[in-house]
Structure 1
Amino acid sequence: MLLAYYLPQFHEVEENNLWWGKGFTEWTNVKKAKQYFKTQEIRKPIEPLGEYDLMLGDKVIEQQFEIAQEHGIDGFLVWNYWFGNEEKILERPFEKVLQEKQKVNYAFAWANHSWLNKTKGILLKEQKYLGAKDYKKYFNYLKSHFLSENYIKKDNKPIFGIFMPDLIPDLSEFIELFNKWAIELGFDGIFWLAENTNNESNYVKYFDRYFDSVVFLKGRKNSPIGYFFEKLNTKTKGKINFGPFIYSYKNLSDLYKNYELNENELGVIFSGWDTGIRHAKNGIILKNLSIASFDNHIHDVLEKTTKNNSDIIILKSWNEWAEGNLLEPDSIFGSELLNVLKRNRNGY
């Protein structure tokens, strides 16, 4: 099963209009993206999807999934935002999917982090953990999705991911309660995915599968000069900044070949990276993404998955346009990256 991360920030919401200006969506950063070096290729949307609005038009997400499924993606792993006390954001597109019974296979991953204006160091929306009563409200909100025939299950359990499990102070209680309430609905519990996790994480035992979707990027430590300046930038909070910081997709994917998956660890396909679009000089840009390097990387992840007898692969990502990791048709590659994925999946 191949699940692709999906960002639902392609429509206006009141909060983003307040924080970033009227009309802000993910496309805002893409349209104003700066090219920092001559060979940097900023990927822009093209037909058949183009610059879509998830709340306008006729079933945009269903059209996206039709293209994704045709090329070997089994479902979207959708970022879901619950800040506590029923505060949500970006939830409406998949409420629309649910209400209209659109033919989209999806599961949620709780993006349990506060929202910040990182440029100005301003807290925009705080992630809160308010205990059992609030977790019950969250579960009740998710319940109608879990019960949908289009919500992805495994072993009679709705799949549900957590972005930063280590931030949840009462993680074991949260998991225990969600399992209990899922069983009361007729499931056998929740099928848990842990993001930002390795086999040494002290909570890994609570999860069915785990992975770190940026483990691919950790190979940049092998570029000591670039990595030194990147860490210096972080340490000085941008006061000393030689960024954006440039590494090679091909080199990192070659290094990733040496990475072995542990038991219950999932392989991750990495579809590019350019956070210079979102974070300007604080960003990381991977050059040398090509048809050949992507093909080799997919082949490697599929081999790791087969060797590990794994049953799920994560794709990062379907549509993170302002971070340059995406698989939708774009101005640089057209649909060729999708075709590479399809050919590789047909081979396994």
Structure 2
Amino acid sequence: DVKVLAYYLPQFHPIPENDLWHGQGFTEWTKVRASNPLFAGHYQQHIPHSDIGYYLLDSPETLKQQAALMQRSGVFGQVFYHYWFSGKLILEEPAQLLLANADIDMPFCFCWANENWTRAWDGNTDDILLGQDYSAADAVAFIRYLIPFFNDSRYIKIDGRAVLFIYRPSSIPDAQLYLDVWEQECLAAGLKKPYVVAVLTRGALSPEEFAMDAGVERVLHDWTSGEVSPINESLDFFEPCTGSVLPYQDVVDFYSRQSDTKDFTYFRSVVPTWDNTARYGQEAYLLHGSTPALFQQWLESTISQTQATLPKDRRFILVNAWNEWAEGAHLEPDSRFGYSYLNAIGRALSARPYQDDFNVQHQIPKGCRLQLSFPAVIVNKLAADLVLKARFVAGLLQSTVFDRCTVTVNVEGFFDGESVLVQTTPNDADFVLEFRKIVFFDASVIEKMLMSGLASGATILPVSYDQVLSLDQMTANGSVAATAAYHSGMVLISKKAMAEGDKNFRRRTDAMCFVSAPTSGRFGKNNPRVTTIIRVHAGADLGELQNALFSLYAMVDCIVIPLIAAQDFSPEQRQQLQLLLAEFNWPKAAEPQVDFYQSDSVVRDLRSRMLNESLKKVKTRYAAFLDYDDLMMPQAYSGLLSRLQKTGKAVTFGRVYATDYDHDTKVFLARKPVYSSGYSYRDFLHYNHAPLHSFMLDLTQLDLSTVVYFDDQRYMEDYLLTLQLFTENNCDWESLTEPVYIGDYIHSVNRSHTLAISNTDERSALLSDPEYRRCEQRICDLRESLKGASS
């Protein structure tokens, strides 16, 4: 029952006046295209989405396209700015086009922009180009021009009265005169008098001052009168600017709080953003930090207030604007946010939360058709490594989507006798899953992507893990820029997107795939075998363990054997772990080994025991470590093995990123090269610069019999071990001078970690804990003995 109207600027076409005043061919786009950002992070310039381009309002087709966008998004109607200067019309052609083409489904009304036209854009407000001259004769001519529009069935009415907004009611010397004339002329034409709405700006506080029927809020007309503080001083400007920058969030909060009931009919307003840099350059006034989610939040609040204060037949909300591109205020899609602001309107009106489609659960209809598409480059890579292909196909065929859909493949013989229908073209497929890289993933990933595709209609991307991690900016509902698809291992495209082009891209964050590649042959016919020790406890998320295993499963140029040490697993958890391991097509030479450990009342935390005893159980020449919630890149071990064989050392190193991760939403937030210092044994003795999964061991050159550990070494147990293994001579310290990153040290921002504590008070409490102090003292004692031995 709430109707959204948008102000409509009919300026996007050349006219003789603008040619004369601003240069040949001038339109609003001229200013928009010349705009540049004023400070770091400033969103400029605004570039229209390729679907609409730099359009001209010179044909019915453009209006039809805009009407279609309105209908799909929930925008009810347009409020055309009407430029009338004592009988002189300007920019009137788009509205006349609309009137002449009754098939354009665009409800509309007018807002008389009754202010003088000046050279304000050029910095001269005193040079009047077109002025207003108010009189009874002007009132007659004005309304007689509009009456044919009022008679149009698409014209917006309240109580059968044509709605007419007045931008500057306070500028009309005798508003009552105009209202009386308009009523008389409309009655003579067989119409009710117009429903006149005062825009409450430039001193107008109430429509009753002007005998008008209603008032409409004009947000930012007074720049919040200082209620919202500018943030200019916190911004990094490229050159001095004299304008003002307000934070969008604070503006939303300010206007949302203004809920006092008026004693007149009052229409509320919102803006998607505001930024007149294109017009005023360094003197611009703008809002910073607008997002579709915040816009929807503001609109939802305004809808609630409108429903509470207005009768059903006049529940209008005004958006400034549909297409004020030079003021940054546009609902029309652009190259940065796409259709997100339009979609926010539809969600707000239908009471759907902004994040409603994020990792959504959606029914897959019976008979849904999915084609698996493999380009020639992927087919050729798999043909070059048949072992890799067998593992890839085995994993793919476990996908639950085969039980949910009719699945076809575009390559003859790809599944080697499996009963999968071959179709070389998409034909009638509802979705096509394009494989752009060789990837491994769990059985539910494709089904999850398909659910998101069905719910949103968007092109769906998983989280692809390799050297390039999915860290693109993402909205609360999973929307990402089109460029995110470039590095994606898979892309799910709907039938509609195949026909019309991809317009909306979403990330399914709980669908993760791990990039792999054919063996390089760098180690000859027999790839080295590496045992990787993974410790996991009963409270762990087995989904994270699964991801860690997939990162090892995708490793190239070696055979990885997981050795899992599991503490305090219940019978049910042990069964879950076995089922998880069964999803992988492990080679016989790489079947995981699982050792279960049980704590007791004396030692409740077995991490030190599991670390040391597992290492002594390794039967392969090479050993590595990986915590269950960390990840390794697919080329990591290939590089480490190459260094070990080249240098003949017992230990070699890579670097790992410190990566922030939201465990609840499965979103990777940031990847930082924190562990990038420390290059020598002396550095290592001073502080541990080698996270557990950043190195590899050649056990043939290490004597593990001399290693000691303590069952109660709950903290820094890995450092206690490596201090006993690493020496100045047996380590490839030179490898640390090369910034080769091999994995991610994952820090879950919404979960506690043993030592990775950001809260100062919590960290201080830990460092003063007697148990921690005991563990630290062992480290200090060992360091001193090693320093003494080396001297």
TM over 0.5: yes
Partner of 1:2: 4
Where structure 2 has 5 or more consecutive residues not aligned to the other structure, the ranges are 234-239, 353-791
Deviation at 1:143, TM superposition (A): 1.4
1:212 aligns with 2:206: no
Deviation at 1:225, TM superposition (A): 6.3
Which of 168, 186, 189 lines up with 2:193 in the alignment?
Answer: 189
1:245-256 correspondence runs (5 A)? 245-256=244-255
Distance, in Å, in 2 between the alignment partners of 1:129 and 1:27 is 30
Partner of 1:306: 307
C-alpha deviations, 1:151-206, integer Å up to 9, x for none?
11221111111000000001111011112211222222111111125884474462
Aligned sequence identity (%): 28
Where structure 1 has 5 or more consecutive residues not aligned to the other structure, the ranges are 229-240
Which residue identity is paired with 2:246?
Y
Which residue identity is paired with 1:279?
Y
Distance 1:223 1:268, change over 3 A: closer
Deviation at 1:7, TM superposition (A): 0.1
1:325 aligns with 2:329: yes
Distance, in Å, in 2 between the alignment partners of 1:173 and 1:220 is 33
Which of 153, 159, 170 lines up with 2:157 in the alignment?
Answer: 153
Q: Is the 8 A contact 1:220 1:247 kept in 2?
A: no
Distance 1:224 1:339, change over 3 A: closer
Distance 1:89 1:13, change over 3 A: same
Partner of 1:17: 19
Distance 1:134 1:327, change over 3 A: same
Rg: which structure is higher? 2
Distance, in Å, in 2 between the alignment partners of 1:155 and 1:178 is 16
Deviation at 1:96, TM superposition (A): 1.3
Which residue identity is paired with 2:43?
E
Deviation at 1:8, TM superposition (A): 0.3
Deviation at 1:342, TM superposition (A): 0.2
Distance 1:27 1:341, change over 3 A: same
Distance, in Å, in 1 between the alignment partners of 2:328 and 2:299 is 17
Q: Secondary structure at the residue paired with 1:306?
A: helix
Distance, in Å, in 2 between the alignment partners of 1:280 and 1:253 is 24
Distance, in Å, in 2 between the alignment partners of 1:303 and 1:44 is 33
Which residue identity is paired with 1:327?
L
Q: Secondary structure at the residue paired with 2:337?
A: coil
Q: Is the 8 A contact 1:129 1:168 kept in 2?
A: no
Structure scoring higher RCO (CA < 8 A, sep ≥ 6) equals 1
TM-score, with length taken from structure 1: 0.90
Partner of 1:99: 100
Partner of 1:44: 47
Q: Secondary structure at the residue paired with 2:75?
A: coil
Distance, in Å, in 1 between the alignment partners of 2:241 and 2:61 is 43
Distance, in Å, in 1 between the alignment partners of 2:302 and 2:38 is 30
1:14-93 correspondence runs (5 A)? 14-42=16-44, 43-56=46-59, 58-84=60-86, 86-93=87-94
Deviation at 1:216, TM superposition (A): 7.6
Distance, in Å, in 2 between the alignment partners of 1:136 and 1:205 is 18
Distance, in Å, in 1 between the alignment partners of 2:190 and 2:88 is 27
C-alpha deviations, 1:277-297, integer Å up to 9, x for none?
111122111111012211211
Residues 193-202 or 165-174, more deviating = 193-202
Which residue identity is paired with 2:296?
D
Distance, in Å, in 1 between the alignment partners of 2:140 and 2:124 is 35
Partner of 2:351: 347
Partner of 1:257: 256
* Aligned-pair Cα RMSD in Å: 2.2
Q: Is the 8 A contact 1:244 1:276 kept in 2?
A: no
Distance, in Å, in 1 between the alignment partners of 2:17 and 2:252 is 37
Q: Is the 8 A contact 2:197 2:207 kept in 1?
A: no
Which residue identity is paired with 1:284?
Y
Q: Is the 8 A contact 2:243 2:282 kept in 1?
A: yes
Deviation at 1:113, TM superposition (A): 0.4
Deviation at 1:220, TM superposition (A): 6.0
Partner of 1:112: 114
Q: Is the 8 A contact 1:54 1:61 kept in 2?
A: yes
Q: Is the 8 A contact 1:221 1:227 kept in 2?
A: no
Structure with the larger strand share: 2
Distance 1:179 1:31, change over 3 A: same
Distance 1:115 1:103, change over 3 A: same
Distance, in Å, in 2 between the alignment partners of 1:323 and 1:38 is 19
Distance, in Å, in 1 between the alignment partners of 2:141 and 2:79 is 21
Distance, in Å, in 2 between the alignment partners of 1:223 and 1:315 is 20
Partner of 1:278: 279
